Amino acid sequence: MIFETTRDGALKKLDNFIENEIINYNSKRNFDFGPKERKNVSCLSPYITHRLITEYETVERVLKKRPYQKVEKYIQEIFWRVYWKGWLELRPKVWTDFTEDLKNIKDDEKIQQAVNGKTQISCFNDWVNEIKEFNYLHNHTRMWFASIWIFTLKLPWQKGAEFFLKYLLDGDAASNTLSWRWVAGLQTKGKNYSAQSWNIEKFTNNKYKNIRLVENPIPLQDKREYKLTEIENFNNSEKVGNLIFFENDLNLENYNLDNYQNIYCLLIENDKRKIKLDQKVLDFKKIIIKNHLKTLTKNIKFLENSQSLNILDGVKEFDVIYPSIGENLSFIKRLNKTKDIKFRFLKNEKDLFCWNFSNKGYFNFKSNIPKIITKFKLS
């Protein structure tokens, strides 16, 4: 499995999926035929995660070629990422608690066996090796993996979520953290996801059979409650000559870059991260950034290591394309304190509108997708 590293390549992959494969998405999407046979799913998540192509752009291109009724399920799946981001924006302490929990969990022998693919469950071991080799895993398989990790291996969900963030090219703070919480039964309290041997057998096309799993587990419990908070908006009318954006939002078309004297694309290296990334994931990020910056007419400096941050020492204020709750936002807030720099976040109009529907479950968000499509003329 090879992933594109340019925007043009990602768009060609999307167009090919729309033309040739999307018509079978509803009936085939849950099957995991292995890393060499992925035509039944689009595999666009590594590009959407970095917004090399955006969720909205993806939806628009799909609806230009296909009627909504024929691709409704695919559109809903694309919007899951927008929903999860909005949900976490409204409850930012979930991310803070997750990263703090990790500090108090030791990498014991059982965890090491799991992350090294040395368990007694062959399919799980295969998936561990697949993640490490390809830095990708089928979405349905991620659910099985998380369920086995939590309920059969009885390991802390936080360490599983950390493992995914480390190795997946499409690792996203909101989608990843909240999906693991959902499997555990914490996201929708009392409703967990349980991997079933028959289900794995069916949707791996009989590759794995008679898997010994805990199939009727009790959902995890967490006494912590997360109340809705107001989404902060730092936008103001002051002109700032400096702009920073991160690798998880490379979409710059909504911003007038001519307003800025200095523009920086920032990639946090592992020495500044709370959750370390696999080197192949960092390398992928560097390649797509460098390739993307070549296509832009504006001169943008790529800050790809900790030493390069010294360039910001003389900067007193800057705009930041809002990176959403997660590692990048946590870093910029630490930077604000240590360097005493004033900043304001530039937020995506479409995101802000969509996040209004993230206050409840996905059913509420899903019912508003037609309204989103109409408002932003995505069809």
Could you report the per-residue pLDDT of 186-220, keeping only the tens digit for each? Answer: 999 889 999 999 999 999 999 999 999 999 999 99
Contact 18, 42 (CB under 8 A): no
| Strand pairing category for 342-346 and 301-303 | unpaired
CB 308 within 8 A of CB 333: no
pLDDT tens track for 298-345 = 889 999 887 778 888 877 888 999 999 999 999 988 888 887 788 889
| Apex 17 CA angle, 173 and 58, nearest 5 | 50
H or E element that contains 375: helix 369-375
pLDDT band at 14 (very low <50, low <70, confident <90, very high): very high
What pLDDT shows up at residue 239?
67
93/234 Cα distance (integer angstroms): 19
Check: CB of residue 346 under 8 Å from CB of residue 324: no
* Predicted pLDDT at 339: 78
Query: Which pair of structure tokens corresponds to residue 193?
Result: 């996801």
115 vs 343: CA distance, rounded Å:
39
Find out whether 358 and 324 touch, Cβ atoms under 8 Å.
no
CATH class, range 93-203 = mainly alpha
Q: Which residues pair with 345 in a beta bridge?
A: 320
Q: What counts of helices (H) and strands (E) characterise the chain?
A: 17, 5
73: β partners: none
**1: pLDDT confidence band, cut at 50, 70 and 90?**
confident
Is CATH 1.25.40 the right assignment for the domain spanning 7-90+357-375? yes
Question: What is the full DSSP assignment across 273-290?
Answer: -SS---HHHHHHHHHHHH
Quote the percentage of the chain above a pLDDT of 70: 98
